[in-house]
């Protein structure tokens, strides 16, 4: 996780690099893989499907690979103005968020992200604003993403986000593949000045909170 501080807002460039393929024992592997991910869950930005745990902030980019990037690849991503330079062949999905309307996956693999609630009129330029009044949800379940991650038991999440309030808790949901407050495949959230990451495995449970990271 790379965290950049630019007061008065916390701005995070988040790369979750998760690989679960080289484990010491078969028993441990069976409890820490991603085989129990649910393919019916929607992708959400800014809250849960039930509109609980809202987050107040800005998101300008969201991308996924179905493998863990190497350390050198992570360094390359962080050194580029365009975060995706050099890893485009590995991407499963990439959303560049700006302006108003719905947002399409540039790879064409996942459903559009569409507004829920009442979006603000100030969705111009790079990045979009999220809060308890307006958030984003895929028009259908991103089943292809879930299936590819289940197959590899590893993925990389890249998100360019900036919080508008360092006191948000819950954790406040920034990005989720979830059905509600108690069931998810993963969630990236904010708990005060910290990032909170929940990942569903047979060991951590369907809420990914035993423990969260």
pLDDT per 10-residue tile (average), the chain, 213 residues: 42 55 48 87 95 94 91 80 70 90 93 88 74 94 95 91 94 96 95 94 90 84
Give every CB contact of residue 22 below 8 A, 6+ residues apart in sequence: none
Is residue 156 within 8 A of residue 51, CB to CB? The reply is no
d(CA 34, CA 151): 8
Coil/strand/helix, residue 153: coil
CB 197 within 8 A of CB 212: yes
pTM: 0.83
Q: What is the pLDDT of residue 25?
A: 45
């Amino acid at each position: 996780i790379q965290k950049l501080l630019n007061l008065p807002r916390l701005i995070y460039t988040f790369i979750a690099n998760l690989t679960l393929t080289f484990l010491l024992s078969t028993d441990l592997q069976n409890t820490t893989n991603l085989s129990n991910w649910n393919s019916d869950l929607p992708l959400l930005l800014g809250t849960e499907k039930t509109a609980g745990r809202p987050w107040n902030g800005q998101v300008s980019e969201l991308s996924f690979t179905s493998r863990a990037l190497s350390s050198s690849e992570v360094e390359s991503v962080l050194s580029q103005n365009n975060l995706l330079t050099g890893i485009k062949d590995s991407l499963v999905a990439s959303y560049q968020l700006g302006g108003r309307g719905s947002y399409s996956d540039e790879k064409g693999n996942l459903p559009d992200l569409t507004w829920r609630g009442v979006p603000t009129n100030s969705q111009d330029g790079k990045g979009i604003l999220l809060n308890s009044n307006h958030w984003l949800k895929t028009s259908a379940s991103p089943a292809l993403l879930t299936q590819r991650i289940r197959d590899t038991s590893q993925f990389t999440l890249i998100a360019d986000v900036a919080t508008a309030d360092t006191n948000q808790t819950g954790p406040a949901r920034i990005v989720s593949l979830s059905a509600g407050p108690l069931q998810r495949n993963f969630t990236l959230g904010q708990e005060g000045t910290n990032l909170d990451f929940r990942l569903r495995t047979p060991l951590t449970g369907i809420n990914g909170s035993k423990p969260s990271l």
